[in-house]
Amino acid sequence: MPGDGLTSLASLAASLAVFLIVMALGLALNLAALRTRRRHIVERLGQPEQRAEALLKQWLCPEQRATLDRYGYFEVKGSHSGKWYRIRYGRSMNIDELGENGVRAAVWCFGPEGRLPLGDVMLAQKLALETDELAALAVANRSNLGY
């Protein structure tokens, strides 16, 4: 039958559309769960964590704050190389060096000494990369992601 090819192509396109919609919904639910989980962690840990989070957000530009709230990270530009770094929520191995087209080229780990609230750690990482990138990376651990 001459119409069978078109019918099966339309069926395949419909199946692909359904698959893409399901994947997009899954991604949206995962992002919502990440934001909710982060908010509960900050609330549960108490006032020092909340103050550190507020201080971090005061130091971020509006775009960085929005990205942090939405995706759990913000990006900064290195003071010496001009490279871009993505600082994700976390205390260790939470700094992604971004290569071409925003692709992660390496993961870095450095931070202040002592047991500080998470927001303070991330603020220290931001300031170090923006003001003395070479000194920060000189003491950092690096993972090349198998490259």
Q: What is the pLDDT of residues 91-126, one digit of tens each?
A: 889 999 999 888 999 999 999 999 999 999 999 999
In 46-100, alpha helices (H): 47-59, 62-71
Q: What is the pLDDT of residues 37-90, one digit of tens each?
A: 666 665 666 788 889 999 999 999 999 999 999 999 999 999 999 999 999 998
Amino acid 63: pLDDT: 97
Q: Cα separation of 111 and 93, whole Å?
A: 10
List the one residue out of 33, 124, 129 whose CA is nearest residue 81: 129
**Higher-scoring residue by pLDDT: 116, 29:** 116
Q: Cα separation of 25 and 15, whole Å?
A: 15
Domains of the chain, by residue range, sit at 1-45, 47-147
Q: What is the DSSP string of 6-60?
A: HHHHHHHHHHHHHHHHHHHHHHHHHHHHHHHHHHHHHHHH-HHHHHHHHHHHHHS
| 6 confidence band (pLDDT: 50, 70, 90) | low
Apex CA 105: angle with CA 101 and CA 107, to 5°?
130
Q: Cα separation of 49 and 52, whole Å?
A: 5
Q: Cα separation of 109 and 91, whole Å?
A: 8
Q: Cα separation of 92 and 111, whole Å?
A: 8
